[in-house]
Amino acid sequence: MTDVKRPVKLSCRNLWKVFGAGSEEFMRRNNGAASAQALGEARLIGAVRQASIDVHEGEIFIVMGLSGSGKSTLLRCLSRLIEPTYGEVNFDGRDLLKASDAELIEIRRHKMGMVFQHFALLPHLTVLENVGFPLSVQGVPKPEQKKRAQAVIDLVGLKGREHHYPRELSGGQQQRVGIARSLAVEPEIWFLDEPFSALDPLIRREMQSELMRLQGVLKKTIVFITHDFDEAIKLADRIAIMKDGEIIQIGAPEELVLNPATDYVAEFTRDVNRAKVMSAQSLMRASAAGGQHAGKVDAKAKVETFAADIVGANLPFAVTDGKGRLLGEVTPQAVIDLLAGRHVKQAQP
């Protein structure tokens, strides 16, 4: 799972976005703490409340919530597209909220990329010009602009469409342009705001795979917003679940499934295909001394990848760590229980 030793790239502490007259004054007076009731009495709306997250270098951090949960507002506070009311945002160890306008422009020009739900392509520019646009506003010379734009266009598989206008492309292709454009400046952090929500289900799946492929190559630090829990499970290293402006749980997909913090989270995880989320580790029990093993699986391997084999063999599999040391075993019965939905609690810590 997530390697905790990786340094934190972006974080926020006790971050608030409160709408309404006098909201800043209110938050200062209350020292950055207010109950939903107190906000309501002051006729304020807490779009994001006491959010604290750490996004580590190279991870895909997904913020998942239904509409109105404040997930987009949180993203916009992290990128300072809107000013947070209270709290701090640290990017690369510096306080982003203290950056001047000029500094912010510099940071955005070189270190941040963002993909938008409705693509946000400029209608009057071709694909090549759209992708080159962030470079162009930095004043990168034309030939280099073209070269770098072409490189990312090739990367997202749009070669041959450079001179098309956005309206001539399908939704999926338009979002590829959006992705290419956000990558053109080689950002260190990549914000994706519901990038696939406006696409058809089939195209969405294709684009999700495409994102995983790109991430395999690029290893960016990603903050990804979605309202689709399956999408979150599929892509995330870690997920933050938001409801009514608050983050109610942060964890790897497996942790959410195994230990949902609230009924609300449990409701989301109920229909998740556990074999896809859970690893051998989580089904493992202590290996009986001298027991027979029909095979060997890595502790991190998802159940899905060995379910057919273990059930066919009808004998336990040994579970080993990365270096091949024996950790325990998984029984066929445990796998069958999981697949049948009978598995409720983690067998072994």
Partner 1 sequence: MTDAVLTHSDSRISALPGWRVAALIAGVVAIAFIISWIVPGAWDYPTQAIIPFAEWISAIMLWIKATFTWATRGLADLVNIPLQLAIGFLAKGYRIYLTEGFITLPRFSWVGVCAVAAFVGYRFGGLKLALLSGLSFLAIALFRQWDSAMLTLALILVCVPICVVTGLLLGIWGYLNPKVNRVLIMPALDLLQTIPTFAYLIPMLLLFGNSPVSALLATGLFATPPMVRATVLGLSKVPQDIKDFADMAGCTRRQKLWRVLVPSAKPSLMLGVNQVIMLALNMVIISSMIGAGGLGYDVLLALRALKVGQAMEAGLAIVVLAIVLDRVSQAAALKRPEQDTTQKPWVQRHASLIAILAVLAVTTLASLVLPAFGKVPNEITFTTAPAWKAAVDWVTVNYFDVIEAVRITFLLYVLNPLRAFFEGLPWLGVVLLLAFAGWRLGGIWLALIVALLTAFCATTGLWVQTMATLYLCGVAALIAAAIGIPIGVWASRSDRVEKVVTPFIDTLQTIPSFCFIIPVVMLFRVGDVTALIATVAFAVVPAIRYTNHGIRQVPHELIEAGTAAGCTKRQLFWRVQLPVAMPEIMLGLNQTILLSLSMIVICAMIGTRDLGQEVFKALSKADSGKGLVAGLAIAFIGIIADRLITAWVERLKAKRGLA
Binding site for partner 1 (CB under 8 A): 76, 79, 81, 105-110, 112-114, 116-120, 122-126, 128-129, 133-134, 137-138, 163, 165, 167, 182, 191
CB nearer partner 1, residue 109 or residue 296: 109
CB of 139 to partner 1, least distance (A): 10
CB nearer partner 1, residue 126 or residue 259: 126
CB of 47 to partner 1, least distance (A): 15
User: What length does the chain have?
Assistant: 349
CB nearer partner 1, residue 82 or residue 299: 82
CB of 131 to partner 1, least distance (A): 11
3-state DSSP helix/strand/coil % of the chain, to nearest 5: 40, 25, 35
Instruction: Pick left, alpha or beta for residue 264 (phi over 0 → left; psi -120 to 50 → alpha; otherwise beta).
Output: alpha
CB nearer partner 1, residue 78 or residue 284: 78
CB nearer partner 1, residue 91 or residue 119: 119
How far CA 114 is from CA of 32, 108, 121, in Å, comes to 29, 9, 12
CB of 189 to partner 1, least distance (A): 11
How far CA 97 is from CA of 63, 90, 93, in Å, comes to 21, 8, 12
CB of 137 to partner 1, least distance (A): 5
CB of 342 to partner 1, least distance (A): 45
Strand locations in 2-121 (E): 8-19, 45-56, 60-64, 86-91, 94-95, 112-115
CB nearer partner 1, residue 124 or residue 345: 124
Strand locations in 216-337 (E): 221-226, 238-243, 246-251, 295-298, 317-320, 326-330
Give the integer Cα–Cα distance in Å for 172 and 239. 25
Give the integer Cα–Cα distance in Å for 247 and 250. 7
Q: Are strands 221-226 and 45-56 parallel, antiparallel or unpaired?
A: unpaired
CB of 106 to partner 1, least distance (A): 7
- Phi/psi at 83 (5° precision): -80, 125
Give the integer Cα–Cα distance in Å for 320 and 330. 11
CB nearer partner 1, residue 128 or residue 338: 128
